[in-house]
Amino acid sequence: MATHWLLKDDPRQRRDPGTKDKPGPRPGKPRIRCPKCEWEPGRGDVWMCLCLHVWNTFDTGGVCPSCAHQWTETQCRRCHGWSPHLDWYEVDSDALD
């Protein structure tokens, strides 16, 4: 029963992903955004692994730090579409010049 309560959301804490967190430039790092709807996750946006560990998947390149599962696809928190994890990383063409 305790697990149920740990995973249950508090409706007062819900927010539309991306409405409060406006990611800024990340010098030397690729831009991260959903390939389908172009939503950019913020530092506080998290995903849950099958082992129930919660973390920001982009901090580890899609590898769960708890069980080491490699996620090859990532689900967008805005449009709920699944895309290959590597497709989320967009290299700024200006940075290549």
* Confidence band of 91 (pLDDT split at 50, 70, 90): confident
State the pLDDT at residue 16.
Answer: 52
What contacts 92, CB < 8 A, 6 or more positions away?
30, 31
State the pLDDT at residue 3.
Answer: 37
Q: How far apart are CA 7 and CA 3, in angstroms?
A: 6
Place of tokens 């290299």: 91
Q: How far apart are CA 43 and CA 65, in angstroms?
A: 16
pTM of the model: 0.68
Nearest Cα to Cα of residue 17 among 59, 46, 48: 46
Q: What are the tens digits of pLDDT across the range 4-55?
A: 334 444 445 445 554 444 555 556 678 999 999 999 999 999 999 999 999 9
DSSP-based three-state secondary structure for 69: coil
State the pLDDT at residue 19.
Answer: 44
